[in-house]
Chains A and B, each alone.
Chain A
Amino acid sequence: MTSRHATWSVEAGQQVLDSLPSDERLILPALQAIQHEFGYVPREAVAIVASFVNVSVADTHGVLTFYHELRTTPPAPVTVSLCMAEACQAVGVRSVAEDVAKAIAPLGQRSSDGSVDVVEVFCLGNCALGPTALVNERLIGKVSAESLVRAVASAREGVNA
């Protein structure tokens, strides 16, 4: 399976950090840069970020676990982020989520074939055209389980291309 992310190594991680502009040599931007490159923040990276920013491993771990989006395990090739906030609730996202649970995976879980993560998010700013989801970085409005299955398929083609 081809990935949309690079493979982690200590050297590659250090390179990512070294290329950060001076005002982004802070814990959160450093962790985000690592995740952007490798898809997640490997355990090994925590101490490297801590030493790079010159803070404790505990502080770095604290930031890593605070933000919902930072992750410590590799993501599936495709991530479906389904908005579960009020404006989407008003147009039936709760039942869409039930359908998605059957068609792809329940919220917070990975599909049985390992290809898709389904995550819950709160508000994608498309509140007049909901229910809404992001499939990787593509925003899709008026979604149903069927339209998401199609979007996942086309995202997988993109990843594997």
Chain B
Amino acid sequence: MTRVYVPRDSAARSIGADEVAVAILTEAALRGVDVELVRNGSRGMLWAEPLVEVVTDAGRIGYAGITSDKVAELFDAGFLTGGEHASSLGVVDDIAWLKDQQRVTFARMGITDPVNLDDYQAHGGLRGLRRALELGSEATVEEVLASGLRGRGGAGFPAGIKWRTVMQAQADQKYIACNADEGDSGTFADRMLMEGDPFTLIEGMTIAGVTTGATIGYVYSRSEYPDANNTMREALAVAYEHGLLGADVLGSGKAFDLRLRVGAGAYICGEETAMLDSLEGLRGMVRAKPPIPALEGLFGKPTLVNNVMTLGTVPAILADGAAAYQAFGTERSRGTQVFQIAGNVDRGGIVETGFGVTLAELVETYGGGTWSGLPVRAVQVGGPLGAYFPADKLDVSLDYESMIAAGGMVGHGGIVIFDETVDMSLQARFAMEFCSKESCGKCTPCRIGSIRGVETIDKIREGVDRANNLVLLNDLCELMTDGSLCAMGGLTPMPVQSALRHFPEDFQR
């Protein structure tokens, strides 16, 4: 019996992985050969999807970009024993694109069957939770602190400090709220982890729960991710069945319940306090801080709010120790970041590596430049609220401090590449338009400022009193930055002003 892997990741399915899986089973039956088909997560080499892998004595051999009409050819080429074919990538673990990465959070990604708990444990799963249960709360929090892990959602707040605050808070009920409202364009790491290795998130949240004394956790996901939500539901059921969740987590006597909630199409619900309101079933309105959610969060109770990537990294930190994680990264940006290379890119996908990799390495070395073949003109880093970098300024180091110094931010690690056909005044306009559509409406700079921003950019684009309107636009940007309640209005000026700074010619056409 030969084992064949075809990803169940929705990106792979979006270009035909399901059809390939069916074709392989059909062809195998026709030829009377025994094939065990496993639907794995994606390796993150989205440029190679649908990626078919076959287990051979030499290792797992990959075949890239397979469509259902190529399947018969693959059988003819003897792919079940690793036979040569034009699409062959050789042993997948040896592919430089993958091998040169430093995978921690995504260590199991694409290797295992996402909803098979035995497979998960065979690849190191649950070691972190078992160690946390042995260590106890104080020592576990110390471990998270010592790892240097910072919030991967974008804000970069030290995770251990948040954990300690929630642990020390006194209340009859505490919550863990996982922010899986991954609305930033160019980001898909949360989705891929939920689809490709959901037990890692479940384990991370369970560690957070037993450590801080929170007995209820919520994953707040997006309605735009139907496949991820289905996989999470499946994984949650398996976790309950095996006693990983429930009244007695792995026989520890500690309780942790975990539930999935799905949003309804509102970008602002990725802001932590708006997310809490949405979890309470209300409009996703941003709350003023203080009080901080760690003390007064969901239903007014102490709540640990962390992103999927933050919580998904915790099991590895506990399993292998803070020192191992500390070893990656630069000065104050420790560990790895799961970068997502997207947009107009030849080789898009997931690159997990230590902080300090340069933008140029991601765009050129990993990304291979644009998909269109035209020169790169602009790269937006960190989602719709992130800065645009011009092609001659890609040598910036991707870590929290360097990015801030360069007028940008790491955000959730999304890298969106544009070729030379991009009109940067139109992108600046979109940033304001997006803010006007997605603002919760609570504060004026964001709600009204974004609409005025669109109008002013329209005037500039049309050549109406251009010099004065450029001054006005910068003034408006400063006001939004300083006067908005949260990052939505506060950071919308970042793409706008970076476009103005680096691409002034696009506002003078």
Instruction: Tell me the A residues contacting B by CB distance below 8 Å.
Output: 23, 26-32, 53, 59, 62-63, 66-70, 81, 83, 85-91, 121-130, 132, 134, 137, 139-142
| Docked-complex contact A69 and B265, CB < 8 angstroms | yes
Q: How large is the interface on B (under 10, 10 to 19, 20 to 34, 35 or more residues)?
A: 35 or more
Cα–Cα distance between A21 and B423 once the two chains are bound (Å): 49
Q: Which of B15, B226, B283, B384 has the most CB of A within 10 A?
A: B283
Cα–Cα distance between A63 and B226 once the two chains are bound (Å): 22
Contact status of A128 and B348, CB under 8 A, knowing A32-B264, A86-B185, A87-B343: yes
Cα–Cα distance between A29 and B260 once the two chains are bound (Å): 11
Cα–Cα distance between A32 and B224 once the two chains are bound (Å): 14
9 A-B contact pairs sorted by A residue (CB < 8 Å): A26-B282, A27-B281, A28-B282, A30-B281, A68-B264, A122-B267, A125-B188, A128-B341, A128-B342
Instruction: Tell me the B residues contacting A by CB distance below 8 Å.
Output: 10-11, 13-15, 46-47, 49, 182-188, 190-191, 222-228, 259, 261-267, 278, 280-284, 340-345, 348-349, 371-372, 380, 384, 414, 416-419, 422, 427, 430, 434, 438
B405 to chain A, nearest CB (A): 23
When distances are taken between beta carbons in the complex, the residues of chain A under 8 Å from B417 are 90
Output the nearest chain B residue to A31 by Cβ-Cβ distance. Answer: B264
B43 to chain A, nearest CB (A): 13
When distances are taken between beta carbons in the complex, the residues of chain A under 8 Å from B427 are 86, 89
When distances are taken between beta carbons in the complex, the residues of chain A under 8 Å from B418 are 90
Cα–Cα distance between A139 and B227 once the two chains are bound (Å): 9
When distances are taken between beta carbons in the complex, the residues of chain B under 8 Å from A125 are 10-11, 182, 187-188, 190-191, 222, 224-225, 228
- Pick the contact of A67 from B47, B228, B266, B345 — CB < 8 Å? B266
B168 to chain A, nearest CB (A): 26
Cα–Cα distance between A88 and B14 once the two chains are bound (Å): 14
Contact status of A130 and B264, CB under 8 A, knowing A123-B183, A123-B224: no
| Docked-complex contact B414 and A126, CB < 8 angstroms | no
- Pick the contact of B348 from A23, A31, A59, A127 — CB < 8 Å? A127
When distances are taken between beta carbons in the complex, the residues of chain B under 8 Å from A90 are 342-344, 416-419, 422
Q: Which of A29, A59, A124, A132 has the most CB of B within 10 A?
A: A124
When distances are taken between beta carbons in the complex, the residues of chain A under 8 Å from B261 are 29
When distances are taken between beta carbons in the complex, the residues of chain B under 8 Å from A68 are 264-266
| Docked-complex contact B283 and A66, CB < 8 angstroms | yes
Cα–Cα distance between A31 and B414 once the two chains are bound (Å): 32
When distances are taken between beta carbons in the complex, the residues of chain B under 8 Å from A23 are 259
| Docked-complex contact A134 and B224, CB < 8 angstroms | yes
- Pick the contact of B11 from A67, A121, A141 — CB < 8 Å? A141
A36 to chain B, nearest CB (A): 10
Closest 10 A/B residue pairs (Cβ): A26-B281, A128-B348, A85-B185, A127-B342, A69-B265, A90-B343, A141-B14, A67-B264, A68-B265, A66-B283
Output the nearest chain B residue to A32 by Cβ-Cβ distance. Answer: B264
When distances are taken between beta carbons in the complex, the residues of chain A under 8 Å from B187 are 123, 125, 127
With A62-B283, A121-B265, A122-B434 already in contact, 16 other A-B pairs whose C-beta atoms are closer than 8 Å: A23-B259, A26-B280, A28-B278, A66-B283, A67-B266, A81-B224, A86-B343, A87-B185, A88-B185, A90-B418, A91-B344, A125-B228, A126-B11, A127-B348, A139-B10, A140-B14
Cα–Cα distance between A139 and B15 once the two chains are bound (Å): 9
When distances are taken between beta carbons in the complex, the residues of chain B under 8 Å from A88 are 185
| Docked-complex contact A129 and B384, CB < 8 angstroms | no
- Pick the contact of B183 from A27, A66, A122, A129 — CB < 8 Å? A122
When distances are taken between beta carbons in the complex, the residues of chain A under 8 Å from B266 are 66-68
B443 to chain A, nearest CB (A): 16
Cα–Cα distance between A30 and B280 once the two chains are bound (Å): 12
Cα–Cα distance between A145 and B263 once the two chains are bound (Å): 28
B152 to chain A, nearest CB (A): 16
Q: Which of A23, A88, A91 has the most CB of B within 10 A?
A: A91
When distances are taken between beta carbons in the complex, the residues of chain B under 8 Å from A86 are 185-186, 343, 380, 384, 416, 427, 430
When distances are taken between beta carbons in the complex, the residues of chain A under 8 Å from B186 are 85-87, 123, 127
